[in-house]
Amino acid sequence: MKFGTKAIHAGVKADASTGAIMTPIYQTSTYVQEEVGVHKGYAYSRTQNPTRDALEQNIAALENGTFGACFGSGLAAIDCILKMLNPGDEVISTNDLYGGTFRLFTTIFEKYDITFHFVGMSGADAVKEHLNDKTKLIWVETPTNPMINIVDIEAIVEVAKSSSAMVCVDNTFATPYLQNPLDLGADIVMHSVTKYLGGHSDVVMGALVTSNEDIAKEMYRIQNSSGAVPGPMDCFLVLRGIKTLHLRMQRHCENGEKLAVFLKEHPKVENVYWPGFEDHPGHATAKNQMKGFGGMLSFSLVGNNKQQAFDVVKKVKVFALAESLGGVESLIGHPVTMTHAAIPKEEREKIGIVDSLIRLSVGVEDAEDLINDLKQALA
């Protein structure tokens, strides 16, 4: 089954009682049992809910995986993975990653004696240097947030084979439409469903997908025990959003390319970070493991002046200055003061998150309007 067909049909069945073509919103906390231990597969909605089940099956199918689990947020999904570890374990992570992930790692799980190594993953050598018998998780984000670096998933998986470490890929920026990490050997895929999968800036949710039965058992145990699950209404909204994921991602990619080219030629722009450019260091890898280059890009300004960046993000009229990404509307943000404020300044600057860096989530509006908006904001 091709992607667009799976996006619409995977996990979704007509309602048995009414024939409704759309998955009902099972707005219930509990389920009547015929007698003790005899029920229709559902006992309590923290553990299972029919609307959530349909979504979990749908997302798993999109990632060519077997088991899917949804959570109350992307960070709740990451939290589930970290709870699979034990004190004394070590994690190797990309050093260019979402600030919330960095905060979760360093302020929550470090105090439980889990050690984190943040390394550049443009090549696999840095991972090899930190890999040892205590390494239990390699955390990959690609494309990275906000520098849009590309990590070679297959190369990282090959390195991990010499250890007992799981490889987990945050696939939020690429989505399953552009990239399928499980097909490249990863053990787990994570999504901030809030972003492209929901696609309409009206839901907060996370998801994990795996084909490993042992990992899945632990994933479901933690999901049920910790209880960070989404409600049925949110699951319904994401199921609806996913039905147009392939169509939206095509437009995100088209618009992203047009804006990247415009910005690269602008005299006030110093650098543009977008993997579609042939001179991007990860271009060849992106071309190999992705079906397109996405709608996320970042750029810095000549002179690296923070106030100048503030002026640009304030002057836009079509773009909205806001946290998050992946919605149909275009968003603009200043990582240093917004999404990556949790990362210490010296760590940010090591990886290129400078004061004038601006991140764009390019939406599905008319590209000409978006270009004109940036043109007047940069004037």
199 and 135 in a common domain:
yes
Candidates 6, 52, 136, 195; catalytic one: 195
| Residue 197: pLDDT over 90 | yes
Q: At what angle do helices 74-82 and 213-226 cross, to 10 degrees?
A: 120
- CB atoms near residue 118 (< 10 Å): 22
185 & 42 share domain = yes
**Which domain-ending residue is among 224, 242, 260?**
242
Residues 220 and 297 in one domain: no
| Shared-domain flag, residues 205 and 273 | no
Residues 225 and 78 in one domain: yes
Q: CATH number of the domain that 12 lies in?
A: 3.40.640.10
143 preceded by a cis bond (ω within 30 of 0): yes
**pLDDT tens digit sequence for 267-326:** 999 999 999 999 999 999 999 999 999 999 999 999 999 999 999 999 999 999 999 999
Using the 3D structure, point to which of 213, 242, 271 is the last residue of a domain: 242
User: What average pLDDT does the segment 348-371 reach?
Assistant: 95
Label residue 189 by pLDDT band (50, 70, 90): very high
Tally of CB atoms within 10 A around 32: 9
Domain match, 28 and 175 both = yes
Q: Write the pLDDT tens digit of every residue in 127-166.
A: 999 999 999 999 999 999 999 999 999 999 999 999 999 9
Whether residue 345 is predicted with pLDDT greater than 90 in this model: the reply is: no
170 is annotated as an active-site residue: yes
In DSSP notation, 136-158 reads EEEEEESS-TTT-----HHHHHH
| Domain housing 65 | 3-242
Marked catalytic residue, from 53, 79, 89, 170: 170
pLDDT at 190 over 90: yes
Task: Determine whether 359 is an active site residue.
Answer: no
Question: Which residue, of 242, 259, 275, is where some domain finishes?
Answer: 242
49 & 154 share domain = yes
Mean pLDDT (whole number) for 218-226: 98
Q: Are 83 and 117 contained in the same domain?
A: yes
- Single out the catalytic residue among 46, 291, 306, 350: 46
Compute the distance between CA of residue 167 and CA of residue 337 in angstroms, rounded to an integer. 30
The enclosing domain of 310 has a CATH number of 3.90.1150.10
Using alpha carbons only, give the angle 367, 373, 377 rounded to the nearest 5 degrees: 145
Position 123 pLDDT exceeds 90: no
Q: What is the pLDDT of residue 343?
A: 86
Q: What is the pLDDT of residues 170-179, one digit of tens each?
A: 999 999 999 9
258-296: b or e for each residue (b if 16 or more CB lie within 10 Å)?
A: ebbebbeeeeebebbbbbbbeebebbebbbebbebbbbb
Q: Which of 6, 26, 53, 98 is catalytic?
A: 98
Q: Are residues 325 and 370 in the same domain?
A: yes
- pLDDT given at position 347: 85
Instruction: Write out the two tokens for 116.
Output: 């984190």
How many domains would you assign to the chain?
2
Same domain, 217 and 298: no
259 and 212 in a common domain: no
Same-domain pairing of 171 and 124:
yes
Q: How much is the pLDDT for 76?
A: 98
What's the whole-number average pLDDT of the chain? 96
